[in-house]
Chain A
Amino acid sequence: MKPKNLLSQLSELESTLNNFSFEELSADEATRLKKSFEAFKTHLEKRIWGEDISPDHDSKLESLKEKEQLQKAQEMLIATVSHEIRTPLSGIIGFADLLKEGELSEDQQHKVNAIQSASNSLMDIINELLEYSKLSVGLENFEMLDFNFFSIIQDVVYLCNTLMLGKDVKLEVDVDKNIPENLIGDPSKLSQILLNLLGNSIKFVEEGEIMLKIKLLRQGEEKVVLDFIVTDTGIGISKEDLEHIFGSFKQANQQTFSKYGGAGLGLNIVKQIVDKLNGDIKVESTLGVGTTFKFTLPYTTGSSTSKSKSQQTEISSEEVKGMRILVFEDNELNQRLIERRLNSWGCKTYITENPIYGLNLLETDPIDIVLMDLRMPIMSGFEVTEKIRKSTKKEVAEIPIIALTADFTFDDKNECEKNGINDFILKPFSPEELLSKLIKNRNDIQTNFKLNATSDGNQIDHTVSDSSFDLNSVLEDCMGELEMLEELIGLYKRNALEFIGNVKMKLQDGDSEGVAFAAHKIKCGLKMMQTMELFSIVEQLNTTAKTTKDKNHMQFLLNRFVQEYPKAEKMIDEELRRLKKNGNE
């Protein structure tokens, strides 16, 4: 086969999508889209699973050299195909996102969700493939950076906690305090290994515990060896599977694949990275009991100057506190990472992969600076920048824009200047780099906006991950009855969804009064549950519906509500979980 067949199917899909207007969406078309998609996915799976191309394959080839050559050729092919597939796949994901924003019936929503889910799994597989092949063909870069070990671990743990939401799984972390704070090495590879192993544990543990333990094994003058242990009480791995676990394209069995997804390359990638970093990795497991991965990695200790660098970060992060930053970024992982980073500096962060939201937001809310990923599926960073520069509002047209890009050639630099991008950062970047670029490029005129109080006259802390959010006072009002609180939360959610549907309809009918009415009705509840961001949006909606009656602005505010609501819902669910837990202790 037939990468040709595959690619032609792909371009058929692509042209279908290109001729697709979501305004003309019919249930049939969505179904057909999904069907071609499924066919494509199956084809790809067959391609990967159908042929055994692992090095353990008992081939008829005569010499070792020929074997190696064949393997290299196959890996190059994987790399090329994966790369080619990613672009149209990003397109599918992007369009599925767009479809979701449109007016769909419940049934159509389900279908679009299915498309999204399938494309996301496929993207995961492709990324694994790409990673694997890059490593195998030696294209992967290994950095030697000065980095803060503890903050890398923190980031990893934070991400894992996000992955564990809704699961009855506990993550315990034990990091040796004697490990030097600053090390020289590749922090992103370390994160990758840990996220891979922990991610697997989270995937395969239905309920129970996962433990990450990091010890300082040996310490020399300038060198250390760290010992990492990732243990879980998951489904475990059989003796036979353990033998091949680090091999490529092996997963325990087909059932595991269909339940848990992935291309089965994760552990092979991990092993390759650990090996290339001069480390060592082992695994132990018992079926039905759990699994333990152990690996060691050597590092050189960071110099003392790096310590003063981190001190500098502490000082200068004050300078970006309160900055309102709009980030255009489509990769979910990057979104979370950058959001956390910016919020930790006290910035107010807006993140979107949808250029229309971002552009609308710029027109209505004061933003101090824009971070722009140059490669995004719907509109390129350059196109979005162009639109920003064409704004009729001076402060929007002149807003500082920093490009985020993975591969930067001389041409791109010119493109930047041509298209009105002020500065750029190369990915992957360190927090210090991001911080210094933000400070360098901020426009002092803009910072005046941050001094404005919010519309209801209160100074509300707007950090997205609001640690001061707690529903204890509401629980008190319910006389400590968690069931009552849960009932209220259920009501809250129902009201929010009704509100969204209601306002959508009212806007279509041009019924501003109806919009004001709906907004007024839900306002109180939003405030009661302390979801202040939503409250502020609805308040603005109420005012607009009563005064200017500007349909576009109301639509925009509704979109913002739709965007922010899932975050609020998550916050509330987590808080409820926490309160329940405290109640049981």
Chain B
Amino acid sequence: MIKKNLLLAEDDELLASLLDYRLQKGGYNVHLAKDGRDVKEYLKTATPDIIVSDIMMPYFSGIELIDYVRNQLNSKIPIIIISSAGNEENVLSAFELGANDFISKPVSPSELLVRVGRELNKT
């Protein structure tokens, strides 16, 4: 079985480390990006099967990322947004722009795995 590629864009080191660990254990090839620049670089050459991104990141917010992927790259890659408390309007914008799902902090790795699996099963 081919492993699915997952792009994880998260600037919080602790959370990123934990999610990276769990997602890899969950059977995914994880590429970890620390900020929007990393993400852009990565997307120039690679096409992940799914993107999990924090809604607030340096240089390139999660919102901008969705816009980029949907409108610039014209891609339908499933995108799951990680939001934090007080970011409700952004979550709505994210959905409007084309995000598929969201999960709020504190992120339960188990829950994230379920959501990722669900999105991938749809395609």
Contact = CB atoms under 8 A, between A and B. Distances in A.
Contacts of A406: none
B48 interface: no
A487 B16 CA distance: 12
B17 A491 contact: yes
B14 A477 contact: no
B13 interface: yes
A168 B95 CA distance: 54
A303 to B, nearest CB: 54
Contacts of B17: 487-488, 491
Contact of B85 (A456, A488, A520, A529): A456
B74 to A, nearest CB: 32
Interface in B53-72: 56, 58
A472 to B, nearest CB: 14
Contact of B109 (A477, A487, A529): A477
Contacts of B21: 478, 484
Interface residues of A, number: 20
A313 to B, nearest CB: 40
B92 interface: no
B87 to A, nearest CB: 12
B56 A525 contact: no
A528 B16 CA distance: 12
A529 B14 CA distance: 9
A481 to B, nearest CB: 8
Contacts of B106: 524, 527-528
B22 A525 contact: no
Interface of B: 11-15, 17-18, 21-22, 25, 56, 58, 84-85, 105-106, 108-110
Nearest to B109: A477
Interface in A439-492: 456, 477-479, 484, 487-488, 491-492
Contacts of B15: 524-525, 528
B84 A524 contact: yes
Given A456-B85, A484-B21, A527-B106, A517 B14 contact: no
B36 to A, nearest CB: 13
A521 interface: yes
Contacts of A188: none
Interface string A51-94: 00000000000000000000000000000000000000000000
A491 B14 contact: yes
A495 interface: yes
Given A478-B21, A479-B25, A491-B17, A521 B109 contact: no
A478 B110 CA distance: 10
Contacts of A529: 14
A477 B56 contact: no
A522 B13 CA distance: 8
A491 B56 contact: no
Given A479-B25, A488-B14, A495-B14, A520 B109 contact: no
Contacts of A488: 14, 17-18
A40 to B, nearest CB: 46
Given A524-B15, A525-B13, A477 B25 contact: no
B113 to A, nearest CB: 11
Contact of B12 (A456, A484, A487, A525): A525
Contacts of A478: 18, 21-22
Which of A456, A523, A528 neighbours the largest number of chain B CB atoms within 10 Å of its CB?
A: A528
A562 B68 CA distance: 40
Given A477-B18, A524-B84, A528-B14, 18 more contacts: A477-B108, A477-B109, A477-B110, A478-B21, A479-B22, A487-B17, A488-B18, A491-B13, A491-B14, A495-B13, A495-B14, A517-B58, A521-B12, A523-B12, A524-B106, A525-B14, A527-B105, A528-B18
Nearest to B85: A456
Nearest to B105: A524
Interface in A481-521: 484, 487-488, 491-492, 495, 517, 520-521
A317 to B, nearest CB: 35
Contacts of A487: 17
Contacts of B18: 477-478, 484, 488, 528
11 contacts: A477-B110, A478-B21, A484-B18, A488-B17, A491-B13, A491-B14, A491-B17, A495-B14, A525-B15, A528-B15, A528-B18
Contacts of A517: 58
Contact of A520 (B13, B56, B108): B56
Which of B25, B85, B105, B106 neighbours the largest number of chain A CB atoms within 10 Å of its CB?
A: B106
Contacts of A525: 12-15
Contacts of A520: 56
Given A456-B85, A527-B106, A521 B22 contact: no
A134 B50 CA distance: 76
Which of A477, A478, A522 neighbours the largest number of chain B CB atoms within 10 Å of its CB?
A: A477
B40 to A, nearest CB: 19
A517 B59 CA distance: 11
A456 B58 CA distance: 23
B78 to A, nearest CB: 23
A58 to B, nearest CB: 67
Contacts of B13: 491, 495, 521, 525
